[in-house]
Amino acid sequence: MSMSDSIADLLTRIRNAQQADKRWVDVPSSNLKKRICLILKQEHFIRDFILVADNKQGMLRIFLSYDHNGEPVIEGISRISRPGRRIYVRAKNLPRVRGGLGIAILTTSKGVISDKIAHRLKVGGEVLCHVW
């Protein structure tokens, strides 16, 4: 099965698993998805992730995070730049997600980083998604 937007698939699987109160979700692995999961873990939107080996490309098992009331930590997650419409920002125009309560994940010349790190490094790039 050919997939045109694997990042949108990752975000949709996370969103659907949280709505179904799942503790983890498995997605096909790639280096970009690993980096996105690392940022989500650093910002405490997910608990952890591991690489589960199979005979193909491997699977990422993402352990979702819930608060003490059982509500998902991720309130919303949305894809910004898509294959049909790429969204780029300059360093001085970095987006603020929910007044600073959320994060934007960008791919830059310095790698895949959050908007906070991009602001510190003064680099712009393609906005992959917003998470709040």
The per-residue pLDDT for range 39-76, each reduced to its tens digit, is: 999 999 999 999 999 888 899 999 999 999 999 999 99
H helices of the chain, in order, are 6-19, 31-42, 115-121
Q: How far apart are CA 100 and CA 94, in angstroms?
A: 11
Whether the pLDDT of residue 20 is over 60: the answer is: yes
What pLDDT band is residue 4 in, cutting at 50, 70 and 90? confident
Residue 2 has pLDDT above 90, yes or no: no
Structural domains in the chain, CATH included, are 6-64 (3.30.1370.30), 77-131 (3.30.1490.10)
Residue 82: per-residue pLDDT: 95
Residue 26's H or E segment, with its range, is strand 24-28
Task: Identify whether the C-beta of residue 105 lies closer than 8 Å to the C-beta of residue 112.
Answer: yes
Q: b/e per residue, 95-111, with b = 16+ CB within 10 A?
A: eebeeeebbbbbbbeee
Helix (H, G, I), strand (E, B) or coil at 112: strand
- Nearest residue to 109 via CA among 100, 101, 117: 117
Over residues 22-36, the mean pLDDT reads 97
Number of CB atoms found within 10 A of residue 65's CB: 17
* Helix, strand or coil, per DSSP, at residue 1: coil
- The predicted pLDDT at position 40 comes to 98
pLDDT in tens, 75-129: 999 999 999 999 999 999 999 999 989 999 999 999 999 999 999 999 999 999 9
